[in-house]
Amino acid sequence: MTARLAADIGGTFTDLVLLDPGGGVHVAKTLSTPGDFKEGVLGGVERILSDAGTELGRGIALADVDYFVHGATVVLNALLERKLPRSALVTTRGFRDVLEIMRTNNPRMYDLKWIKPKPIIPRHLRFEVAERVRHTGEVLCPLDEEGTRKVARRIRALDIRSVALCFLHAYANPDHERRAREVFLEEHPEAHVTISSDVASELREFERTSTVAINASTIPIISAYLDGLSRALSDRGLERELFVMQSNGGVITSRAARTLPVRTVMSGPAGGVVGAQFIANRMGLRDVATIDIGGTSSDMGVISDGLARTVDQSAVEGWPIMAPTIEILAIGAGGGSIAWVDSGGALRVGPQSAGARPGPACYGLGGSEPTVSDACVTLNRLNPDYFLAGEMTLDRAAAERAIRERIAEPLGMDVADAAEGVLRGVTANMNKAIRSILIARGFDVRTFTLMAFGGAGGMVAGELLRIGDVQRLVVPSNPGAVSAVGMLATDLRHDFAQSSVQSLAAVAWSDVERALRHLRTLGADRLRSDGVDDGAMRFDDALDLRYVGQDYYLRVYVDIDDLDGERIRSEFDKLHEHTYGFANPEFEVEMVNARVFAIGTFERPRLPEIAARAAADGPLETKARRDVYFGGGFVETAIYDVTALRADDEIAGPCIIEDPRSTIVVMPGQLATVDRFRNLAIDVAA
Which tens digit of pLDDT belongs to each residue from 403-420?
Answer: 999 999 999 999 999 999
Question: CA 527, CA 251: separation in Å to the nearest integer?
Answer: 11
Residue at 14 is within a domain: yes
State residue 410's pLDDT score. Answer: 94
Number of structural domains, the chain? 3
State residue 686's pLDDT score. Answer: 67
Residue 611 near residue 646, CB atoms below 8 Å: yes
DSSP state of 268: H
Residue at 345 is within a domain: no
Q: Is 212 exposed, middle or buried (0-12, 13-18, 19+ CB in 10 A)?
A: buried
Q: What are the φ/ψ torsions at residue 115 (nearest 5 degrees)?
A: -120, 135
Question: CA 152, CA 631: separation in Å to the nearest integer?
Answer: 67
Interhelix angle 145-157/175-187, nearest 10 degrees: 50
Quickly state the pLDDT bin for 666 (edges 50, 70, 90).
very high
The reply to whether 120 and 212 lie within a common domain is: yes
The reply to whether 15 and 87 lie within a common domain is: no
On the question of pLDDT at 10 being above 80, the answer is no
Which tens digit of pLDDT belongs to each residue from 58-115?
Answer: 778 898 899 999 987 788 878 877 889 999 999 999 999 999 998 887 777 788 888 8
Residue at 402 is within a domain: no
Cα dihedral 341→347→350→356 (10° resolution): 70
Q: What are the φ/ψ torsions at residue 113 (nearest 5 degrees)?
A: -100, 5
On the question of pLDDT at 1 being above 60, the answer is no
The reply to whether 217 and 85 lie within a common domain is: yes
On the question of pLDDT at 548 being above 90, the answer is yes
Which tens digit of pLDDT belongs to each residue from 331-378?
Answer: 888 888 899 999 889 999 988 888 767 889 999 888 899 999 999 999
Which tens digit of pLDDT belongs to each residue from 479-528?
Answer: 888 988 999 999 999 999 999 899 999 999 999 999 999 999 999 999 99
Residue 682 near residue 672, CB atoms below 8 Å: yes
State residue 143's pLDDT score. Answer: 97
CA dist list (Å): 491 to 62, 238, 487, 627, 679:
21, 20, 9, 46, 24
Of the listed ranges 352-356, 403-407, 451-455, 652-656, the one predicted with least confidence: 352-356
Q: Is 413 exposed, middle or buried (0-12, 13-18, 19+ CB in 10 A)?
A: middle
Of the listed ranges 536-550, 565-579, 601-615, the one predicted with least confidence: 601-615
pTM of whole model > 0.85? yes
The reply to whether 105 and 195 lie within a common domain is: yes
The reply to whether 164 and 251 lie within a common domain is: no
On the question of pLDDT at 551 being above 80, the answer is yes
The reply to whether 203 and 84 lie within a common domain is: yes
State residue 427's pLDDT score. Answer: 92
On the question of pLDDT at 533 being above 80, the answer is yes
State residue 289's pLDDT score. Answer: 94
The reply to whether 84 and 189 lie within a common domain is: yes
What is the pLDDT averaged over residues 385-406? 89
DSSP state of 612: B
The reply to whether 207 and 91 lie within a common domain is: yes
Residue 72 near residue 225, CB atoms below 8 Å: yes
For 581, the domain range is 492-600
Three-point CA angle 251, 253, 254, nearest 5°: 115
CB neighbours of 511 closer than 8 A, spacing ≥ 6? none
Q: Is the peptide bond before 619 cis (omega within 30 degrees of 0)?
A: no
Mean pLDDT taken over the chain: 91
From its phi and psi, is residue 108 left (phi > 0), alpha (psi between -120 and 50) or beta? beta
Please indicate whether residue 158 or residue 79 has the higher confidence score (pLDDT).
Answer: 158
The domain that contains 184 carries what CATH number? Answer: 3.40.50
Q: Is 250 exposed, middle or buried (0-12, 13-18, 19+ CB in 10 A)?
A: buried
